[in-house]
Structure 1
């Protein structure tokens, strides 16, 4: 009997030691995804500069955005079942606003870069292009290559803070670089002769050529100087990226992407 009592006492001691350990174990807290937050909130916050047609333009009179990526944002909001809340930003402050979590996704002609990739996810690319010149049609033959552009006396105009300025500063050492703050009227500077050319995305040169027929000409937009892709810059959330990628996959397969694209680029 004494041996039995000793064994029971030892078992009780072991159980007493195990109890706190069991109590300290808790079920891991399940993190809510940003996708869940957006759906619960009922709004998708979209950051846009509003100065980059045909991707986005902001009308200060009406307080509304328009453009290719505005139509795409509305389609994404509809797929999510939420309202789209546009947040105005600028190219120089785009990254800071993204890091401050001022929006869930940046749209409006955003190029994929490795620096941006470090801070968030990119969706499936929606466009492949690169930098190419746009100049007055009378001067188009002069600016076919980076070598002929990078000459003393040539005036290259850039908008500040984005990939256009970075490209120009990386490749232009002898020509003059003029930084112009208004991306909406920057092409008028070329048209009226206050600048010679701008190097920007081929899609924009095609669009501006259409807006300035016979005055401004896109120079070899089918053969840009470099390789680039545009996509939607998402806060780092795998569920949100998976949804956006699947939405784009469906849109490209069912023709809805093509219809929105044709309205702005063809």
Structure 2
């Protein structure tokens, strides 16, 4: 008997529950994911998804490769980005869908974002050295096992990898808990643009702005304030780090403000054998959402 699959859920049981569905939040080697963009598309195909979004941190450099792979596998690839911002004393991420990935203005703005990220990384590494851990950016890049392209960036997961290699942490989660998560010993949060500014950038690039993983922020008053601000067109209701209570809460919030409902796994790949956030396709929404995202794009 076929199971009833609710929006955002993915169960097994002999039934292809991903057909006609999409994962709208995945990362690649262009930022802090473990796999080339084409591999994300291949995985989407193997899991029976109809579409997958490439949403790397502050870069769109992985989109072109994914689009080509999409043609080979017959998978719709949604060009996207995840922009880092700050509000209410917290780091807030804004997803942008169906952006013009060749717009020079957007590319220059994302380059500025990556410069901020580089400065943050250096500050994190300096704090780690103050804690007695001998670690450099060169070590982190070397640990990736490949050359870093000019439009790619290092993220905290890369630093966590090196901490594990150095024996300063037992695994990825331990590295974040001890050193890299908000409030941990080496956490650094540099000045960033506001979520409203990120929404404007996305809109000016013809895209649709969606608030990423609101449950992670632990501040629903801030989430409500951002929803009221006007620039957002959707909320990522379904996410690997959300449970049923978050689904219910943010589904109601989206309805209250007339915002689109999206979802995704936040797939980064596996580090030390552990999948960070969720496996690709483990959180998914109906592919019909894509037309809504297209229609909501731009100013």
Give the structure with the higher percent helix.
Answer: 1
Give the structure with the higher percent strand.
Answer: 1
**Structure of higher CA gyration radius:** 1
